[in-house]
Amino acid sequence: MAQDTKASFKTSWYLLGPAFVAAIAYVDPGNVAANVSSGTQFGYLLLWVIVAANVMAGLVQYLSAKLGLVTGRSLPSAIGKEMSRPLRLTFWAQAEIVAIATDIAEVIGGAIALQILFGLPLPLGGVITGVISLLLLAIKDRRGQILFERVITALLMIIAVGFAASFFVATPPSDAVLGGLLPRFHGAESVLLAAAILGATVMPHAVYMHSGLVLDRHGHPGPGPERRWLLRVTRVDVVLAMAVAGTVNAAMLLVAAINLQGHDDVASIDGAYTAIHTTLGPTIAVLFAIGLLASGLASSSVGAYAGAMIMQGLLHRSIPMIVRRLVTLCPAVALLAIGLDPTRSLVISQVVLSFGIPFAVLPLVRLTSNRALMGDDTNHPITTTIGWAVAALVSVLNVVLIYLTLKGN
């Protein structure tokens, strides 16, 4: 029995990975912009938003993975199956806008990192980021998903080290951190940044994607012990991946709150790099830039993977990856070419993502609470209630955001 338990434990660890690929979406350059901007402008005020968003993300990621394992369909495919063609195309259009907003953040982040590290022009850096993301996807197509997961997980570890390295130099005061866990806002800009943090954390494309990731990795197990075991492994996978992502996100905000408040011109990522270089030294600054680069490259490839899955599920056709890549890459490179503030573009892209969350979460909760579809793996009523509450909370936050923004103008 002990040997069987040990073997099961080893096998379970081998099966981990899909959630870590999805977790890359939670530490992309959009997170960097939103978290650094929040820490710089408001200190520890919005730390509670990161914690709450991470808990929400963990729930919806597990529901997405469960839907894939139980039904044998990705979330986009399950949604598209129930829609008429006009409604399905309309739903795809909003998902495509979200995918473009996602790629804007990821490509711009990679371009900023390449400019910081090597002095490359932003448009060229954006193109290079897009090309490298295609090469990472080629690893999956030619060498299989397991190697792709390992490469992405390795990049996730680089991101974690890059953004948390400054804690070896300065640590936050415990009373300020505890104060940041108290839910509150301070003006319309704090609501805007809260929506950006939420959109950067509970990312719609990651919700769509996780259901397909587990299918690619585990297949469609029938009812019984194997499925129950895979669902347990998936829960562990999600908890570990979200713990890493949540820690990295909190670290970004805390680093900005500790080191960047009171400094001039740190509202941009490159300004934050300069301030970190001045405050903490060149080594920590370079690690920050490397973390940003790894974030842009990994999240861009994962975003393209998700976009192809969304297209296939909602358009009912397979789109060549290079075509799919160009659809979302061109707007990002265009924004870089016309000279818009890249950090502000990143933050606004995350706000756009937050508007796409209900379109992903509401169908997910409805599908996973459908006993005819899910059988014995239907959501517990409490889980369903929490899922509806998450979608409602995001929707309300977006309405408040629009009101405060218009009022401020």
How do residues 149-190 score in pLDDT, each as one tens digit? Answer: 889 889 889 988 888 888 777 788 888 899 999 999 888 788
Domain residue limits, the chain: 21-407
Span 41-60, pLDDT tens digits: 898 999 999 999 899 889 99
Question: Which residues, 6+ apart, have CB-to-CB distance to 365 below 8 Å?
Answer: 63, 379, 384, 387, 388, 391
Nearest CA-CA partner of 113 in 406, 384, 408, 336: 336
| pLDDT score for 262 | 64
| pLDDT score for 327 | 76
Checking if the pLDDT of 353 tops 90, the result is no
Rounded to whole angstroms, the Cα distance separating 110 from 296 reads 4
Residue 408's pLDDT band (cuts 50, 70, 90): low
| pLDDT score for 404 | 63
Task: Enter the CATH code of domain 21-407.
Answer: 1.20.1740.10
CA 309 from centre of chain: 16
What integer best gives the mean pLDDT of the chain? 83
Residue with tokens 């640590």: 171
| pLDDT score for 3 | 35
| pLDDT score for 84 | 85
State the sign of the Cα–Cα–Cα–Cα dihedral 229, 236, 181, 198: negative
Rounded to whole angstroms, the Cα distance separating 132 from 139 reads 11
Checking if the pLDDT of 406 tops 60, the result is no
355's tokens? 């508007």
Residue with tokens 């650094």: 36
Cα dihedral 307→309→313→314 (10° resolution): 0
270/409: higher pLDDT: 270
Checking if the pLDDT of 14 tops 60, the result is no
Checking if the pLDDT of 232 tops 80, the result is yes
Nearest CA-CA partner of 212 in 107, 310, 128, 347: 310
Residue 2's pLDDT band (cuts 50, 70, 90): very low
Long-range contacts of 323-328 (CB under 8 A, 24+ apart): 325/130, 325/133, 325/134, 327/96, 327/100, 328/99, 328/100, 328/102, 328/103, 328/104, 328/303, 328/304
Checking if the pLDDT of 8 tops 90, the result is no
